[in-house]
Every structure is written in structure tokens, then in C-alpha cells.
Amino acid sequence: MSVDLAVIHPTRLELLRLKRRRALAQGIADILKKDYDALVMALFEFVRKIPSLRRQMREALVEAYSSFVESQMIAGPRKIDEVSWVCKPVDREVKVDVRKGVLGILLPTMEIVEENASAADPRFDLLETPMKLDEVVQDVGTALHHIVRLAEVQASMKEILEVMSLKRRQINRIEYKVLPQLDASIRYVGLILEETERQDAIRVRVLQRKRKERLQKTMEIPV
Amino acid sequence: MSAWKYKRLTPKVIVSRLRLIDHRDIVKLCNKKLEDASSMLMKTPYRPEIVGISSQQLDSASFEKALVKNFIRTCNEVIKCSPSDVRSLLLAILMKFEVSNVKTMLRAKEAGASVDQAMGFVTSAGKLDDAACRKILEDSNSVEELVDALADFEYGAALKEALSEYEESETIRALEVALDRFVYGRVWKATARLKGLDGKIARAVLGVEIDSTNVKIVLRCKTMRVSENQTRSYLVASSDAFAENDWEDAIRAADVKSTLGVLLGAARCAFARDQLYMLTDILREYESSRSLSQLEMVLDRSLLGISLRMLKRYTAFFNIGAVLAFLNLKWFEVRNLRAIVHGIESRIPPDRITKMLILP
């Protein structure tokens, strides 16, 4: 770790300035650490949600799949395949937005935009398909809702992790670069100032000695 | 009641009924593997159809085709032994499968599926055998041309009438509904041609079937928030038990429970005992489960129950009740076997498969 000492003026004022900068850097590092801790807590909150969301999603998918198999069992797999040829696909859009989260970080929000319920029209043949098939559509909708919710949490976690890595880099920069540099500069200025003080003291002593010698000489000369 | 009239049909039905699979054996099938179920079914009347399935293509779709083929063959055998008035009713009932083939062809044309792809979903029934279906599919390039090709069939006029609606809406729903209305209308008209006890039994059994179909349509539309006008257009023929006003009130009712309440009241006023039993059952089921799919199972069970109740209410021989009960038993056996085979293939737990069965 090199410090460009040539540009530092070894003065008391500079020493004071360097000490002030060190205190400021230490303060910033402390704040960043507190932010980092807050982010870790927020991340853990999301992490805690993940297993239950995954379980809900898995359960919803299993439910949807078993309902689908049941509807195939009732109407026959061939009939369900055949009906699927002409049934209109459901258009579901995922609306992505942002909200302010911990430390004002913008976290993504995702929401499934439901199709217009007022213009409902049966998607399947009412006589050849069982009512279970309508339940399958609802179950798939529920599963999709859970999938989107999980994606939202994972995207939020990714966002938080990015901010955390940024904060970690900032803390590391301060702790392992800025503070040691400032410490080195302070030590350097301190040493220079000490050296200057020592030189001044020697100079004073030499001058005092010379003054004494001059005084003795003037005393020895007879009038 | 005429024993002479049924001299060929009653023995045929009795023998065929004896060949139905015992429901305990059907339940046992739920625990088997697909290969074991197949070999078990080889010892039943399904053998001629199942023997054609190679071990490589042993799947639920091939089984389904074989089972439906067997049902149609059995129906044809019963029809052959039937007196003329009963035959016209049974032919009308069998037309449901013919119409199902028409729907398959319409769907295939609408989706732009190839002829071979569409033929995989066709099961020969009535006048529409495999060769006829293939020819119609090959000769027509669009839904309009298909409807033109079907003009000579009984439902040709109904399809032609619904064609303009198809062109407006660009969905084949209008054509499907026209076909359903035609078939159920024809079945109901055929029951009117039967005299005496036969007419009474046929109207009771098929009336309940038609009513249960309409109940399903109304309830399904209600949960999907389909408009009243649209719901009305989906209804098939009406039986003796409910007048048009009753269906109107049922469609306008606020929710599923009030719909069932309206129909229950109407059935009580019309002294329609069988409809009353059916609606009471489904209302009780709806109140406990709040699930329409469960309700559908109850409707199917009550349909089978009513057919069997007719045998107890009148005699089990020399009337159409025995034929209709047998056909219903056979159809539900086919449905159960289809459900079991698909359940086994999809690795559904046996207890869950058993719950899906409709047993007498």
C-alpha cells in the first residue's frame, strides 16, 4: 500500500486536516456497516419467506396438475387434447413496478394483470368437458400468482444483494485503503513534525551555546 | 308392457348386463399396473378392442379409444335386437357419439390440424365411420366447407343455421351448441314417440339426463359469470319437469345455491320426483363441499341411480328401463375404466382413483 507522501505538506494544519478526514472516514465506515446490517436483516426476511413461497407454489402446481389429470380421467385424455385445439389461450401480463424498500432501495414489484372478468366466455365445450377443467384454470392462475410472488421476492433479494456488495466494497475501501492511507499520512506528518521539532531544539541549543560563547568573549576583553 | 315386443331385446340386455365387470373388480383394478390392468381386461368383453393395442402403444389414449369403440359396438348390438320405436330412441342416443366426431372434425379444421392428426380422435359411430370421416376431412379445407360436406346428414341443417353465427364470432362454439341442441332435441323427440310405460320410463330417465346437463350448463356459466343471454343459448332441450320460465329464473338467480333453490322449487311444483331427488342431492353436496366438480360427480351418480331406480319402480324386464339402465351402467363402466387407466398411467394414488369412480 503506497502513499504518495510527496504531495502531503508536513504541517500541523495538514495533520489536523488528516485527523479530521480519518474521523470522517471512520464515521462513514460505521454508517455503512449499520446499513449493511440493515440490508442483511432485510435479506434474511426475504430468505425466510422463500421456503414457504416455494412450498405454496409447489402445492399449487401439484393441485393444478392433479386437477388436470382428474379432468382427463373424467372426460378422457383424448377429449381434453382435442378440446385444447380450439380453446383460446389466456393472456396474462405481469406488471412490473418498483417500491421503496429498506434504506430507500427501489425493490421490484410484480403483479399478474387479470383478464377482463366481465367479458367472460366459456373457454371449453360445456357438454364434453368436466367442470373440473374450469377449476384447473383457476388452480393454474393461483400457481402463477405464487410463481410471480416468488419471482418478485427473488428479484428483491438480487437487488438487495447488489446493494450489499456495493456497500461491502465501500466499507472495504474505507477500512483497507482510505483509513490505512490516512494513518500512514498522519504518521508521516507526525514524524516530520517531530523531526522538525528536534532540529529546532538542536538549533536553539546551538544558538544558545553560541550566544553564551559570545558573551564570555566580551567579558574577557579588558576595557 | 309387451313381452312379445321385447322377446329379443330383453334376453340380449340380460346377457350383456351379466357380462358387465363387477364393481369390486373395477375397484381392484385401481391398484394394478397398466400391463396388469390390460391383461385383466382381456378376460372381459373388451377383449376384441383391446387385443388390437400393441404393447408399444399401451397408453390411456389407446385404451380410451378401445373402450369407447366397445361401448358403441355394444350399443349397435342392442339396437339390432330392438323393436322399431326403441331403436329410433337408441339411435338418437348413439348419435351423441356421431356428433362428437363431427365436433372433432370441426375442431380439427378450426385448428388447422392434419387429417391423420384428426383421425386419431375419431371413433366410428353411426353414419360417420373412419372412412367417411377421412373423406369429409380430406375434401374440405375450412369449417365452412366441412359444414357444406355435412349438409346431407340429419344435423346438416342445424349446422348450416349456426354457420352465420360462427362467421360472426369466429369461434366454433355456435356450431358445437347447435349440434348439442340438435342431438338432445332429437333424443327428447324420440322419447315422445314411445307409448305407455316405455314412454314414461324413457321420459323419466332421459328427462333427468337432459335436466342434469342443463343444470351443469347453468351452474358452470354462473361461476364463469357468463351473460344470461349466452347461458340461455347454451341450454339444450327442456324436459317435462321444467318449463322455460324455470330455466329463466334459474339463470337469473344470484348464485349457485339460489339457482338450485329455484330449480328445486320448480321440481316440487311439477311433482318431478326424480329431479327432486337429484337436486336435493346436489344441493346437499354443494352446501358441504362448495365445489362444482364434486357436484358434477353427484349429478352423474344420480343419473345412474335414477336408471336403476326405474328397474325397482317398474319391472326389470320387458320395458325400455332395463335397456336404458344397461346402457347407463355400460357407459359408466367405460368411464370408470377410462379413469382408472389414465389414473394408473399418471401415477395417481389408488384411493384417489377410487373416489373418481361412479359406481352403482
Number of domains in chain B: 1
Nearest CA in chain B to A119: B226
- B294 belongs to a structural domain: no
- B124 belongs to a structural domain: yes
Question: Is the pLDDT confidence value at B332 over 90?
Answer: yes
- B8 belongs to a structural domain: no
- B218 belongs to a structural domain: no
The pLDDT value recorded for residue A121 is: 77
Q: What is the pLDDT of residues B151-187, one digit of tens each?
A: 999 999 999 999 999 988 888 999 999 999 999 999 9
The pLDDT value recorded for residue B237 is: 81
List the one residue out of B159, B108, B154 whose CA is nearest residue B128. Answer: B154
Residues of chain B with Cβ-Cβ distance to A121 below 8 Å are 173, 226, 230
Average pLDDT over residues B82-88: 89
Confidence band (pLDDT; 50, 70, 90) for B231? very high
Confidence band (pLDDT; 50, 70, 90) for A223? low
Cα separations (Å) of B63 from A70, B205, B261, B335, B343?
17, 29, 40, 11, 12
Residues of chain B with Cβ-Cβ distance to A118 below 8 Å are 225
Mention every residue, 6+ apart, whose C-beta is less than 8 A from residue A117.
B225
The pLDDT value recorded for residue A101 is: 87
CA pair distance B300, B285, nearest whole angstrom:
13
Please indicate whether, in this complex, the C-beta atoms of B292 and A128 are within 8 angstroms of each other. no
Average pLDDT over residues A123-134: 90
Is A82 an interface residue toward B (CB < 8 Å)?
A: yes
CA torsion through residues B63, B69, B71, B73, sign: negative
Mention every residue, 6+ apart, whose C-beta is less than 8 A from residue A80.
A68, A71, A72, A129, A133
Question: Is the pLDDT confidence value at A119 over 70?
Answer: no
Nearest CA in chain A to B227: A120
In this predicted model, which residue has the larger pLDDT, B138 or B5?
B138
- B271 belongs to a structural domain: no
The pLDDT value recorded for residue A2 is: 58
Is A73 an interface residue toward B (CB < 8 Å)?
A: yes
- B213 belongs to a structural domain: no
Confidence band (pLDDT; 50, 70, 90) for B136? very high
The pLDDT value recorded for residue B343 is: 93
List the one residue out of B305, B304, B84 whose CA is nearest residue B198. Answer: B84
Residues of chain A with Cβ-Cβ distance to B230 below 8 Å are 121
Q: What is the pTM of this model?
A: 0.85
Longest pairwise C-alpha distance within chain A: 144
- B126 belongs to a structural domain: yes
List the one residue out of B177, B189, B181, B238 whose CA is nearest residue B212. Answer: B238
Q: What is the pLDDT of residues B261-279, one digit of tens each?
A: 999 999 999 888 888 999 9
Query: Out of 1.10.287.3240, 1.10.1040.10, 3.40.630.10, 2.30.30.100, which CATH number does the structure's domain A10-201 have?
Result: 1.10.287.3240
Name the residue among B107, B295, B342 with its Cβ closest to that of A72.
Answer: B342
Question: Domain spans of chain A?
Answer: 10-201
- B280 belongs to a structural domain: no
Residues of chain B with Cβ-Cβ distance to A127 below 8 Å are 176, 180, 213, 216-217, 236
